[in-house]
Amino acid sequence: MPPSKRGIGRFHIAIERPEEIIPRLGKPTLHWKAGRSAHSLANSWVTVNDFPPRVKRLLDSDPEYRTAHIVSGFFERDTDLGSAGRASQTDLLVVASLGTGLAIIGVEGKVDEPFGNFVSHWHDGSPGKSTRLSGLCRTLGLDPRQCNKLRYQLLHRSAAAIYEAHAFHCRHALMLVHSFSPEHACFDDFRSFSDAIGLPVQRPDTISAAKMLNSVSFRLGWVSDRPPTG
Assigned domain for 80 exists: yes
Domain coverage including residue 83? 52-224
Examine residue 77 and state whether it is found in any structural domain, yes or no: yes
Predicted pLDDT at 6: 44
Structural domain contains residue 107: yes
Instruction: Specify the number of domains making up the chain.
Output: 1
DSSP track, 129-171: HHHHHHHHHHHHT--GGG-TTSBHHHHHHHHHHHHHHHHTT-S
Q: What is the pLDDT along the chain (230 residues), one digit of tens a residue?
A: 555 444 445 556 666 676 666 666 666 655 666 666 778 898 899 889 999 999 999 999 999 999 999 999 999 899 999 998 899 999 999 999 998 899 999 999 999 999 999 999 999 999 999 999 999 999 999 999 999 999 999 999 999 999 999 999 999 999 999 999 999 999 999 999 999 999 999 999 999 999 999 999 999 999 999 988 75
Closest to 175 in 3D by CA, of 154, 195, 192, 196: 154
The span from the CA of 186 to the CA of 167, in Å, is 30
Cβ count within 10 A of residue 85: 14
CA angle 201/205/206 to nearest 5° reads 40
Q: What is the pLDDT of residue 43?
A: 87
Question: Does residue 45 form part of some domain?
Answer: no
Is 98 domain-assigned? yes
Residue 124 lies in a domain: yes
11 assigned to some structural domain: no
Predicted pLDDT at 7: 40
- Of 192, 159, 173, 178, nearest to 222 by C-alpha is 178
Residue 39 lies in a domain: no
Q: What is the pLDDT of residue 77?
A: 92
> What b/e string do you get for 95-129 counting C-beta neighbours within 10 Å, with b at 16 or more?
bbebeeebbbbbbbbbbeeebbebbeebbeeeeeb
pLDDT for 212 equals 98
pTM (predicted TM-score): 0.89
